[in-house]
Amino acid sequence: MMKRTDTPQPNRIAEAVTAYHAELYRFAALRTGSRSDAEDIVQEAFLKLLTASGEIIHPRAYLYRCVANACCDLKRRRTFHEPLRPDQPQEDPDPALREEAERLAARLDHIPPEQAEVIRLHTFASLRFTEIAEVLDIPVTTVKSRFQYGIEKLRNWL
């Protein structure tokens, strides 16, 4: 659970932007396959941090949870909308980024979503298991087992 205190510290938000923007952007870009979607999602996460009542004790965990939730929401919205017609303008994402995101998504779609999320957070966001436990609000032992089982399934799938 993300804990809050009663004392807001605006300087910590500026520090969080400086410290975490690049890694959050990369995490969102790998999840969405789109530069503009990733930038929007990261900006929204920082806005949530800025407007949160009180101080977030673990801003990195809070921001990763915001970004992960927003990526899931974006995927869900895209799933329920009709696909773009060929005559509609489409965003032209970075080809290398798109290819990496598609390859990752294809592999991680074959394992349970809980395991895939832990692997994404550990491998691509470079979060430690204790940080992932804070982000997902689950015990560290659960994080470790989800990671282990997910990696085993990926090995078997490959």
Please report, for the domain that includes residue 125, its CATH number.
1.20.140.160
Q: Residue 42: its pLDDT value, please?
A: 93
| Sequence-ordered list of residues with C-beta below 8 angstroms from that of 127, at least 6 positions apart, any chain | 60, 64, 121, 135
pTM of the model: 0.59
Q: Which parts of the chain have pLDDT scores under 70?
A: 1-10, 79-94, 97-98, 100-101, 158
Nearest alpha carbon to residue 10 among 38, 52, 44? 52
Domain-located, residue 91 = no
Domain-located, residue 87 = no
Helices vs. strands in the chain: H and E counts, helices first: 7, 2
| Strand (E) or helix (H) holding 55 | strand 55-56
Domain-located, residue 10 = yes
Nearest alpha carbon to residue 132 among 73, 68, 79? 68
Nearest alpha carbon to residue 113 among 137, 149, 83? 149
Quote the domain boundaries for residue 121: 4-82+97-157
Domain-located, residue 88 = no
Domain-located, residue 31 = yes
Domain-located, residue 45 = yes
Number of structural domains the chain divides into = 1
Domain-located, residue 46 = yes
Tens digit of pLDDT for each residue in 16-40? 888 889 999 988 888 888 888 999 9
Phi, psi of 56 (to 5 degrees): -85, 125
Domain-located, residue 103 = yes
Query: Using alpha carbons only, what angle is made at residue 125 by residues 122 and 131, rounded to the nearest 5 degrees?
Result: 60
